[in-house]
Amino acid sequence: MENILLTINIILALILVILVLFQQSEGGALGIGVNQENYMFSRASGNFFTKATAIVATLFIICSLCLTILSNKELEPEKSLLDKIEQNTDSDAPRIPQNN
């Protein structure tokens, strides 16, 4: 189940990056470099890309939260480092023979 969600999360991330790159650049900043005059899509497609980006981003966040919840269920609380050291010294330490 976790592998399937991880694969879906990676695919959603790639789709999200592609959708962001295809959006129209409003201010001419980090877009593809195509301006309004020679852009082949209409303004309605900009709305489509905006809505699609919002939907894919929401799915990405939900998938990421599900992965976090699944990974937290598998984690067990660990003992403290001092407890581990005490266990190792008790079992591995050589015993001093008792003299009668």
pLDDT digits (tens, 9 = 90+) for 89-98: 555 556 677 7
CA distances from 59 to 8, 15, 34, 42, 54 (A): 10, 11, 28, 26, 9
Q: Against a cut of 0.85, is the pTM above it?
A: no
Higher pLDDT, 43 or 83: 83
Q: Residues 49-58: what's their mean pLDDT?
A: 92
> What is the percent of the chain where pLDDT is above 90?
31
The per-residue pLDDT of the chain, averaged, comes to 76
Residue 83 has pLDDT above 80, yes or no: no
Spatial contact of 53 and 23, defined as CB atoms under 8 Å apart: yes
